[in-house]
Structure 1
């Protein structure tokens, strides 16, 4: 077990990539604090970890709310006594619409969850990581880093580009403390996030390009959350001890077509 004795926080751990990451880190011996806005979902994640013989606590918080996140991090450290790994995964697609139709409050919500939420997660956990070093993994996207063709996804794309910029800035800032900071940038992954996306007037924002059949070179279909979890495990482990400030694309080559 390569993470035995390590303590990890995974945000957005109630489903999809976050849940897969929480289960994978726990399977390698990490004590996992699984955080989500939805108590029922994250408690199920913890129950699966415990059923497999792991240790886990469920934390309920909105990552964009400072008071809630401060309380969640305090609960984590009170329970486990420290922190070694942070997986900042919580995020939303938000509203995808033409820029003149995208309302300010819709823009603000996407920025709040994806950028402010990432900032608060790292702002509140960095003091604990500085004590002994550790690993931060931010879940970004191919959008805003490799591709810019998702119709109407201006707010989402801006946040994902911003996350990678944050990762690279913090890799330099936190390196002296033995903290590595990296990003995982998934392409199309088989999760439920797409079902929660509000898309309007798509015909006004589609890029007039005919994509190759299948669209994803490896296998021609979406990846799995478990594929992303393997990359997260690698970056969290000592195997990645000389890697920092690096985005890793998990997209089956999808981004190379765009």
Structure 2
């Protein structure tokens, strides 16, 4: 059963990448706190499974199949959300991919653009689409960046992914200042190693072993847990940033990494 604690009561929340991982965990948590949750994912089967799980627990949700890299698709999903429930109060712009992992020398322009388009441009488009629905009474936007490109750079072949995630974090800061006049808060969550299936979206160049660093990086060096975090742990942080408890928090990056990036830079 949904254990409604009311932190999101009477709010309409949009979650992208809601079919799995951090997006799914956050959507479930939002519903448990009383939100009406619009679930967006490009995988129709998994996003419908999230919808079913929320409804089975007594929550309220509706799923949309859309790819954030396709402006018309994300526009229709946001519009459909507002038509169904009358408003959009919260956005968790979470969807993204790992994409190609490759030395810069061998990175094709197409593969580079694919990652940037899916992650950075897709997040931009999602944020852009919700603004008209939040301008009248304010709202909260949380975007998923990463430790990659912010605190963590020494990741072999991650130049496209890290660049996209750094761009997302800067976009959120720019948006926080620009949208403050409308009482729209914009914050960023930066997960470290989290137990999700995002690795399924990774492709690896045959030249990856050519990327070498002149120092040792611990494979599983996460001081707090000695292993990956859980999606629910990120969802708890997103809930706080999205809720009225964070009413004076905007333009902020929150790292959820168990101190991983204090030893892995």
Question: Shorter-chain TM-score: what band?
Answer: over 0.9
Query: Under a length normalisation based on structure 2, what TM-score does the superposition of the two structures give?
Result: 0.95
Deviation at 1:202, TM superposition (A): 2.4
Partner of 1:14: 19
Partner of 1:126: 131
Partner of 1:77: 82
Deviation readout 1:27-52 (Å, 9 max, x if unpaired): 00000000000111000001111011
Deviation at 1:195, TM superposition (A): 3.0
Which residue, 216, 228, 232 being the options, matches 2:234?
228
Give the 5 Å matches for 1:80-91.
Answer: 80-91=85-96
Partner of 1:238: 244
1:64 & 1:213 partners in 2: Cα distance?
32
Deviation at 1:211, TM superposition (A): 2.9
Deviation at 1:212, TM superposition (A): 4.5
Query: Under a length normalisation based on structure 1, what TM-score does the superposition of the two structures give?
Result: 0.98
1:23 aligns with 2:25: no
Which residue, 157, 161, 185 being the options, matches 2:162?
157
Partner of 2:199: 194
Partner of 2:253: 247
Deviation readout 1:209-237 (Å, 9 max, x if unpaired): 22347410102100000000000000001
The answer on whether the counterparts of 1:168 and 1:182 sit within 8 Å (CA) in structure 2 is yes
Please, which runs of 5 or more residues in structure 2 have no aligned partner? Answer: 1-5
Partner of 2:3: none
1:211 aligns with 2:252: no
Deviation readout 1:177-234 (Å, 9 max, x if unpaired): 1111000000000011113311222221132322347410102100000000000000
Give the 5 Å matches for 1:90-129.
Answer: 90-129=95-134
Alignment length, in residue pairs?
Answer: 258
Deviation readout 1:147-182 (Å, 9 max, x if unpaired): 101111111010110011001111110011111100
- Superposition CA RMSD, Å: 1.0
Deviation readout 1:29-81 (Å, 9 max, x if unpaired): 00000000011100000111101111100011110111111111111111111
The answer on whether the counterparts of 1:142 and 1:187 sit within 8 Å (CA) in structure 2 is yes
1:209 & 1:156 partners in 2: Cα distance?
22
Partner of 2:60: 55
1:34 & 1:236 partners in 2: Cα distance?
16
Deviation at 1:4, TM superposition (A): 0.6
Post-superposition, which runs of at least 4 consecutive aligned residues in structure 1 deviate over 4 A? none
Deviation readout 1:6-40 (Å, 9 max, x if unpaired): 00000000000000010000100000000000111
Which residue, 172, 175, 180 being the options, matches 1:175?
180
